[in-house]
Amino acid sequence: MSGPPPEPCTCSALRRATRALTATYDAALKPTGLRVTQFAILRHLDRLGPVPVTRLAAEAALERTTMGRNLDPLKRRGLVSVTPGEADPRERRVSLTDSGRAALGAATPYWREAQTRINARVDPATVSAMAEALISAA
């Protein structure tokens, strides 16, 4: 059976690219003991300061429960702290610890190396246009 090639699936292509990029960043960050998902959370916290878990999850485009699971290993390593909210003790606030800030600083050169390697494979204008297109599609 032959015919025209199937229409490419944008979702499948993006998922394949995401897996490859995640593996590249994870390999680069391996000496730090962080995965790129954990590194991203530390970066968000460094930028935002102490925030409720729900806000951190929204910033990272994750479900609240997924963010909670992602925070567990960071808490165990002492990189983040989770405390009750001041106004509402049911609220959980996340903050970067001094150890977390140090880990982020130590990991940033490894992340930057991976970022540079990945961006060198694609024209910078294409990277920028692709990022804008993906954000608007989300």
Is pLDDT at 16 greater than 80 in this prediction?
Answer: yes
Question: What is the pTM for the complete model shown?
Answer: 0.86
DSSP state of 87: S
In a domain, 37, yes or no: yes
In a domain, 128, yes or no: yes
CATH number assigned to the domain comprising residue 93: 1.10.10.10
What's the domain count of the chain? 1
Which carries the bigger pLDDT value, residue 90 or residue 23?
23
Do 45 and 71 form a contact (C-beta atoms < 8 A)?
no
In a domain, 71, yes or no: yes
Domain span at 52: 33-137
Longest dimension (CA), the chain: 66
In a domain, 57, yes or no: yes
In a domain, 100, yes or no: yes
Q: What is the pLDDT of residue 90?
A: 86
In a domain, 9, yes or no: no
Query: What is the per-residue pLDDT across 49-104, written as a single tens digit (0 to 9) for each?
Result: 999 999 999 999 999 999 999 999 999 999 999 998 888 888 899 999 999 999 99
User: CA 73 to CA 25: how far, in whole Å?
Assistant: 18
Bridge partners for 80 per DSSP: 96
